Amino acid sequence: MFLLLSGEGASDIGAQHEIGPMTKFIDHWVIRRSHYSLVKIDCYKIVSKTELANIAKSQLKPLSRKGKKHKKETGYFYKNARALALLAKEESSKLETIVIPVLFRDADGTASSDRGEWKDKRQSVLNGFEAEAILNGVPMIPKPKSEAWILCALRERYHNCQPLENESGNDDSPKSLKKQLEQHLGKPATRELLNDEIDQGNLDISQIIDMPSLTAFKERLDEVLDNLRLPRQDY
């Protein structure tokens, strides 16, 4: 089993050998089923946002999508998923093992945006994986941004967190989630700081239970692990 991950930068998925908090989230959710860390045994690869964009531009072929309406604003998510799926097939053939691609992208919605927007983007990722015949792909799409998940743990102590998903995802907003997080921490929310919070048990993915966008990620990853016949356990 091998993880193929793509994120937006250092503070979420991170880079190879400099992993971010979202990679730790993914790894921890797999550990509860596999009982070992794929990251620690180097069974993972992180693909940069730029690299994925280049693959999408140079390698993706137009596909017929008869009978399916595909919203223009979700095309970015769809193309990124298709590009990651291509890489997943290459890695699976090379490594001769099952590769689980996980695409992390912030939804970046605002409180006034259409409520269906997040669902459209998440479905576009699933559609993109499916278009390249990858059936075990996992969307990791925070609503509106991963800072909402982190604030749930560090500031709200895992209680009544769902309203955070309706906050502004615009970093220029006076009350943006990024500003709220840094105000709570009293310092920039760096990759190192957030990783330390996870390692110290202060930022636990299993305790965040009332945020639909995170629940959707966990349930989808569990579905993939079910297909690999990894036993479920209470966690």
Whole-angstrom distance, CA of residue 58 vs CA of residue 55: 5
Alpha helices in 186-230 (DSSP H): 191-199, 212-227
Tens digits of residue pLDDT in 155-209: 999 999 999 999 988 888 889 999 999 999 999 999 999 999 999 999 999 999 9
Query: Which run of H or E residues covers position 101?
Result: strand 99-104
pLDDT at 64: 58
87 vs 229 pLDDT, higher one: 87
Residues 27-52, mean pLDDT to the nearest whole number: 96
- Mean predicted lDDT score pLDDT of the chain: 91
pLDDT at 4: 98
What's the pLDDT band for 221 if we cut at 50, 70, 90?
A: very high
Tens digits of residue pLDDT in 55-103: 989 988 876 555 455 555 588 999 999 999 999 999 999 999 999 999 9
124, 218 contact by CB (below 8 A): no
pLDDT at 68: 55
Tens digits of residue pLDDT in 114-147: 445 899 999 999 999 999 999 999 999 999 999 9
pLDDT at 168: 87
Which residues pair with residue 4 across a beta bridge? 45, 101
Cα diameter, the chain: 51
What's the pLDDT band for 235 if we cut at 50, 70, 90?
A: very low
Dihedral over alpha carbons 70, 166, 193, 202 (to 10 degrees): -120
CA distances 177 to 90, 107, 149, 166, 234, Å, are 37, 13, 10, 10, 31
pTM of the predicted model, to two decimals?
A: 0.91
